[in-house]
Structure 1
Amino acid sequence: MSGSSSRSKKILHPRGPEADAEYSLAIKERSPKACIACRTRKVKCDKQSPCGNCAKTRLECIFPSPIRTCYRPKRTHWTELMGFHQIVEDLTKALDAERSHSLSGSRTGRSSLDESSRRESSQDVITPESEAWASESDRVRYFETRVGRLLRSEGRSRYLSTSFWDTANEDLTVQQADDVLIKSDTEMADAQDPPRSFDGTSKFPLGSSKVDLQYFHPSPEQIDVHWDTYVGHFDPLVKVLHLPTMEQLVTAVKLRQSLSPPNEALMFAVYWVSLISMPEHVVQRVLHHEKATLMTNYRWAVEQALLNAELDNTQDLATLQAFVLYLASIRRLDETKRAGNLAGMALRIAQSQGLHHDGTRFMLPPFETEQRRRLWWQLCYLDQRASEDYGAESSAWDLAFDTEPPSNVNDEDLIPGSTRPVESKRVWTDSSFCLVRLEFARMNRMIRTGLATDRKDLPVFLSKRHSFTLAEKEQLISRCHHDIHTRYFTNYDPSDPLQYLARSITDMLIAKSRFMLRNPLRPSSIVRSPSPVNSPSSHRPSQPATTQLPPDAKDRQFSLAISILELSTQLESDPRLNEWRWLIYSYFQYLPLAFILTELCVRLPGTPDVDRAWHTVAASVDNWTDDIRSSQNGIILQRLLARAQATRARWQ
């Protein structure tokens, strides 16, 4: 053993003058490798010291060792294996004993268990339906054995499930979690200097080296502009932050105080989403730059900030909040597939922090429970919207969760550290607009999965699924419409633009939900390219394929689609809603418009419904933005419009 060890040392570390000379010559003769920075960025390295790329970006140029080291795992001693085997065997016996006790109701404990385990096993089985808990510890133990545990420390959390491996390795898992939770947020010693320039590209979310972003924060005056825009334009729609708490963070940034990576990611997310909601002329007037340039810069910065906060391994709620704001914004940029993929990643991160279980299960304070509810349900909503964009089912509804919906309260009603439960209001609040959108998410979950979301017993996800009939789905839609009006619009003020926008979107989405119950379009009906107007087959109308509906049912669908498009066009043209124009275009009604155009290819002109349809289509086309025209769905709509116009011209 010692001989082989000494031989290996001679190979790796030669000694003596001759050996040193041979070793140096071997290194020189080897083809030099690219530096670590160039290999990470996947760019060509000139292999100088320092290389040109590192010199340009002021990065430390480090070359890897020319000697390839072979790492071999240490052999596990037989005694260690036997010890682990004995631990597993003891745990298995203990679990079998507890299971048999639960089935028989016996009060007798096993002698192999310790004294506390014997006392627990000698008690009756505790259930939520019991008249009273024996003690608070009994209640905690019940939920820990059925829901899991939540480890918390200074804003960080890690969820431990009830799976075998989390249970068998509980001591080790808790220790590892503690190591992660107590890790300092301000640990940026290995951060690189900020690059003087960048090309707008990013490896997000795969990761790269850390970058110091302190020079990328805007001036205090511009921070005020971003914050005011966020509070007025974005926060009511994506309610995941507590504004009074965030204002303290904004003040710290303006004073140039150091920020933890999660809080810095949150601030750059605020800059980014506020910029998206600003019109071009406002950006040039108050920020003194082109909007496109700032969007490139801030997008790179927010993605890099999320990487600095170790998004893929985060235990911090602030990092996930920043990620949710980022996800809510990129869908607006017609990156639906990317948004859907990242939403799935966000859901897994949320699960690792236990957000899929309500905070009351872990005895969390009301403030923290409410923050977690807001974040989880916003994630479910974003995942559903992203899945609808590219025709897939939402993965969020397949997850087992019992998180209650957020409460309809103002931010001032949520007090950090308070133990008083939060009570929902039945009037318009800071959270109402966001909750209206979540009501549709809950309704769609029930329709698609047959799973109720308002059960109070534990666990919700074990309730029996039900396949709804068409009539039952219509009743669900009507009930959703009624609930929204009674919960949020009892004090409706039409002079408030935000309330008017929320109520109009509600009416539009209710109509669209009814339209989608009998969706008359097949996927192939709007994808096929139309024949040229002057082709040999153009003398007869070319109709996209639709599902076979009775004539009266198709007429009702046609009229309903026109009503949906009229509501959408009305919102796009209302000058009171200029501040939320970016949001309104995210509700562009592609499917109803596609159905109208397919029907205009076969319906005779001159009838009241057809004339009304053409008037509405013309108004909608006038409001199309360049983003809509250049999108994949927009190109399809333009083809259908050309086909419908050609058909109309032949009939006239």
Structure 2
Amino acid sequence: MADSWMYSSASNSNANSGVPTGEGPATFSASALANSPADSKHVQPRVRRRNRLITSCLECRRRKLKCDKTAPCANCTRFKRDCLYLASSSDPGNQQRLADMKEKMGVLERNLEREVANKNAKAHFGGVHITKPASTETSHTHVDANEEEELGEDEEDLEPTPLAALDNVYEDNNDDELMDLGVQMGKMRISERVGGWIRPKLVDELNDTLKDVMGGKSRWSTSPLTVEHREPPKATPKIQASPKSYIGPGPGYIAPASRFFFPGTYMNTSLIDYLPSRTAADHLVSQYFMAVHYMCRAVHRQTFEAQYALFWGQIATGNEPAPSIQAVMFAAMFSAAVSMDETQATQRFGTSRSALIDSLRSGTEMALAKANFLRTTRVDVMQAFVMYLIPLIRAEVSRAHSALVGTAIRLAECMGLHRDGSHYSMSPVEAHVRRLVWHQLCFLDMRTCEATGPRPQIRPGDYDTRFPLNVDDADLLADPSPVGDMPYWTDATLMRIRCEAVELRRSLWFDMVQIDRKKKSLTSVVVKVQKTWNNMTQKYFAMMNDSVPFHVLAKHILTLGLQGCFLQVLHRYLFSTSQRMPDRLRQILIEAGLTQMENAIALETNAELAPWAWYRGAFNQYHSALMLMVEVYAYPMRKDAAKIWKCLDYIFDIPPHLSPKQKAELVITDLRDRMEVYHQMRKLRATTQMEERIGSISKSSLQHKAEDTVPLSQDAEALNSYTSMPPANFSPPPPAMNDSTGSGSRQPSVARNTDVAMLMEDIGWAEWDRYFPIEQNSGELNVENFDFDNFNGGLSGPPLDSSAFAMAANTIPSELTMPSNQDLADMSFSPAYFPVPNNMDDSHRFRHQK
């Protein structure tokens, strides 16, 4: 399953308010670019075409002879040549086509000049040192670009990192029993796929990032810390955690069983074996409508309640309900059990949460098997299958989950769910349910694509199923039924927000492929995200009341989804091969990551949002945290460094008495070591093209381990027993997760200042300024007169010396116990750390329109 792919002033939130909210066109002026941080001396004026009328004959023009313009001319008569003249035309269209042709010739010439110049270009610091690809190198995206958009010359130098790929290949001798969930780093999990892109050289990227900063190659290398960083780096203290503490599944992981795919496996089981009592079922259904239904809507409430009454009525008369009804009921109760915490399960049902989940999961799989879900054409069976997948696919996603989603998509298409019900004169309720089921599949498709890849199975244009109407469930039973969206908050508003956000993310995924093929401009894609942000915030924020917790939840989800789109588009350009990312783009990228982290933390820590926090992992995995950590590590003078460190302290549970520099080095080093262990176990292979394009890769840190470090492979035998896939018929929560200070994110970058400065003309700034006004997106990222001697990220206390740093690291136990769900629910943070969600002055939180 990252970036990928922004800084706002602490003193002036309006000038740097994250993603700009200004929607109206702004007049483009030369002064805007003159005030931008880019070096204007690199800007070259376009060649002016005179478009003169050609009056000489072609032969004289070719030989550069003076033509007397007769027919035939004297030169052609003398040498017996055919005297031909261009037909005179005053058509402005022909003149424009001629000018365009000349302009394209000029673009080709400039491209050739750049290709020759880039062969001798210096390496770009901030990751693995790479070289420009050959012009004949082909793209391995396997995605057809069906749109073509003329590119301006101003984006041709801006390239994504070549260290990210869509496809991954493994060696044949790897361990298939190893869980494919990745590495746990604090509150996030990172695998070989970050932000939807494979990063086979992530360990080398982190190594080079550490070496660049420690070697004084960052932008602040002229600070008083330069001498310290240019010294040979000393052995950094390591958090010696065993691999089994961070590679195994977490407490939220639920493994699906495979036996319900095969007929005859549930012949000896019956409904009574898994059915809870009527009282327990009533509690579960009540929990479903409170914590699951509004968050992950997949049923029409009144229809479900009628089916629930029929279900128990048939059981009371001694009749077995239809398998399709059984599947829907068990799927709802299973989702409700997952949404509970341990205390709720024990108090209400007198059993552990894991036992309750396991029983209802098995009951759901039994009902689906009896309903023949692999060959059914009943919508309610597919509805039950999707309801079963929703609680499985959250923060920790394996390929087993991805395979189930792929199966569900193919089954849904076979029964026509990708066609809107209005084409078949269906009832409003039936069409509404079909839309809910299909768009839940769209979300699950994107989530599994990001986590396991390789690409979305559902493509834009493959379906015409409309969004669910923004209406209450009861309105669909009225006569006449509504035919349009309501302009106020309804039962389906949150689901509608999620559908629109997923639709944008899906289109962006294919837009990025077209950008790589030079068939779409980066400016147009980023502007599309900003337009959607402006439209959705203007439309839906007006419906919300900050005093209603569920409305606050909807704001967080909308912000997480759309701010993640900026990261999705821009994060790969933070590692441009030879050009530095312009500061105005960098500002958008970093501010989007900060906004996403703040909203994710608020969703997790706000006690009023606790009933819906169980599904938070499906919306955000804190992948932007590593990107921001590397940014403030390499550029500690950033204006938002203090806010970023407050978020990072919570995400990675870093010892507070360390200085920010020590925190970053501790976390990045630990992530590097963990990812190297994981890559060695997974045996991921990089393409030969990628290997050839890497100029000077740092050797693996495991190959340079000194004798003072503990070998990381000493727990291999214990790891095999711990990370083995659980039995197919059982999925209890694993033992308590152990973890050390860690981090995870999309990709680090330490950019050089002058050697690879990217031209400000690499973006269409005229279009850019219409949606990102220079007043809000100035590109001014740093604090003036930053004191590098007191590099502490805005926290109190002097930095620790090396001996104190080693002492702090040695006090951390080798196996850190993850807090329980109850402990997380009871956590609270002061407003000084995280502003309250309904604080309308916090422009970083919701980015209200001005």
TM-score interval (norm. to shorter): 0.5 to 0.7
Contact 2:529-2:565 within 8 A present in 1 as well: yes
Query: Helix, strand or coil for the counterpart of 2:391?
Result: helix
Query: Helix, strand or coil for the counterpart of 1:312?
Result: coil
**2:416 corresponds to which residue?**
354
Shift of 1:236: 1.1
1:396 aligns with 2:463: no
Contact 2:285-2:332 within 8 A present in 1 as well: yes
Q: Deviations over 1:217-240 (max 9, x none)?
A: 111111111111111111112222
**1:230 corresponds to which residue?**
288
Give me the CA root mean square deviation: 3.9
**1:637 corresponds to which residue?**
744
Contact 2:446-2:506 within 8 A present in 1 as well: no
1:437 to 494, 498, 506: 498
The letter for the 2-side match of 1:560 is A
**1:245 corresponds to which residue?**
303
1:481 aligns with 2:533: yes
Contact 2:421-2:431 within 8 A present in 1 as well: yes
1:300 to 341, 362, 366: 362
Contact 1:381-1:438 within 8 A present in 2 as well: yes
Shift of 1:424: 1.8
1:615 aligns with 2:677: no
Q: Which has the higher contact order (CA 8 A, sep 6+)?
A: 2
Summarize the Cα distance change of 1:373–1:314 in structure 2 as closer, same or farther, 3 Å threshold.
same
Query: Helix, strand or coil for the counterpart of 1:430?
Result: coil
Give the distance between the partners of 2:741 and 2:374, measured in 1 at CA.
Answer: 34
Give the distance between the partners of 2:734 and 2:599, measured in 1 at CA.
Answer: 20
Shift of 1:399: 6.6
Structure 1 segments unaligned to the other structure (5+ residues): 1-198, 452-464, 526-543
Matches within 5 A, 1:419-430: 420=481, 422-430=483-491
Summarize the Cα distance change of 1:200–1:380 in structure 2 as closer, same or farther, 3 Å threshold.
closer
The letter for the 1-side match of 2:281 is I
Shift of 1:339: 2.3
Contact 2:333-2:360 within 8 A present in 1 as well: yes
Aligned residues: 415
1:206 aligns with 2:258: no
1:381 aligns with 2:443: yes
1:496 aligns with 2:548: yes
Shift of 1:201: 5.7
Summarize the Cα distance change of 1:375–1:555 in structure 2 as closer, same or farther, 3 Å threshold.
closer
2:612 to 580, 584, 590: 580
Shift of 1:288: 1.0
Summarize the Cα distance change of 1:560–1:483 in structure 2 as closer, same or farther, 3 Å threshold.
closer
1:365 to 421, 427, 436: 427
Shift of 1:382: 1.3
Summarize the Cα distance change of 1:325–1:607 in structure 2 as closer, same or farther, 3 Å threshold.
same
Shift of 1:370: 1.9
The letter for the 2-side match of 1:441 is V
Contact 2:294-2:492 within 8 A present in 1 as well: yes
**2:186 corresponds to which residue?**
none
Shift of 1:550: 4.1
1:319 aligns with 2:381: yes
Give the distance between the partners of 2:396 and 2:564, measured in 1 at CA.
Answer: 21
The letter for the 2-side match of 1:569 is I
**2:571 corresponds to which residue?**
519
Summarize the Cα distance change of 1:365–1:547 in structure 2 as closer, same or farther, 3 Å threshold.
farther
Shift of 1:577: 0.6
Shift of 1:618: 0.6
Summarize the Cα distance change of 1:639–1:468 in structure 2 as closer, same or farther, 3 Å threshold.
closer
Matches within 5 A, 1:102-141: none
**1:595 corresponds to which residue?**
627
Contact 1:520-1:549 within 8 A present in 2 as well: no
Contact 2:561-2:619 within 8 A present in 1 as well: no
**2:600 corresponds to which residue?**
568
Shift of 1:467: 5.0
Give the distance between the partners of 1:561 and 1:260, measured in 2 at CA.
Answer: 48
1:472 aligns with 2:520: no
Contact 2:571-2:746 within 8 A present in 1 as well: no
Contact 1:264-1:305 within 8 A present in 2 as well: yes
Give the distance between the partners of 2:492 and 2:294, measured in 1 at CA.
Answer: 6
Shift of 1:406: 1.3
Summarize the Cα distance change of 1:381–1:341 in structure 2 as closer, same or farther, 3 Å threshold.
same
The letter for the 2-side match of 1:294 is L
Shift of 1:403: 1.5
TM-score w.r.t. length of structure 1: 0.57
The letter for the 1-side match of 2:299 is L
Q: Deviations over 1:83-132 (max 9, x none)?
A: xxxxxxxxxxxxxxxxxxxxxxxxxxxxxxxxxxxxxxxxxxxxxxxxxx
**2:202 corresponds to which residue?**
none
Q: Deviations over 1:278-328 (max 9, x none)?
A: 111011111111001111111111111111111111111111011111111
Contact 2:285-2:333 within 8 A present in 1 as well: yes
**1:220 corresponds to which residue?**
278
Shift of 1:634: 9.8
Contact 1:219-1:254 within 8 A present in 2 as well: no
Percent identity (aligned): 23
Summarize the Cα distance change of 1:608–1:311 in structure 2 as closer, same or farther, 3 Å threshold.
same
Summarize the Cα distance change of 1:247–1:414 in structure 2 as closer, same or farther, 3 Å threshold.
same
Shift of 1:363: 2.3
Q: Deviations over 1:352-374 (max 9, x none)?
A: 21111112222222322222122
Summarize the Cα distance change of 1:306–1:436 in structure 2 as closer, same or farther, 3 Å threshold.
same
Summarize the Cα distance change of 1:296–1:420 in structure 2 as closer, same or farther, 3 Å threshold.
closer
Structure 2 segments unaligned to the other structure (5+ residues): 1-254, 655-732, 749-790, 793-798, 806-850
Give the distance between the partners of 2:642 and 2:617, measured in 1 at CA.
Answer: 25
Query: Helix, strand or coil for the counterpart of 2:259?
Result: coil
Contact 1:410-1:431 within 8 A present in 2 as well: yes
Shift of 1:260: 0.3
Shift of 1:583: 1.8
Give the distance between the partners of 2:366 and 2:743, measured in 1 at CA.
Answer: 35
Contact 1:233-1:580 within 8 A present in 2 as well: yes
Query: Helix, strand or coil for the counterpart of 2:597?
Result: helix
Summarize the Cα distance change of 1:472–1:398 in structure 2 as closer, same or farther, 3 Å threshold.
closer
TM-score w.r.t. length of structure 2: 0.45
Contact 1:407-1:423 within 8 A present in 2 as well: yes
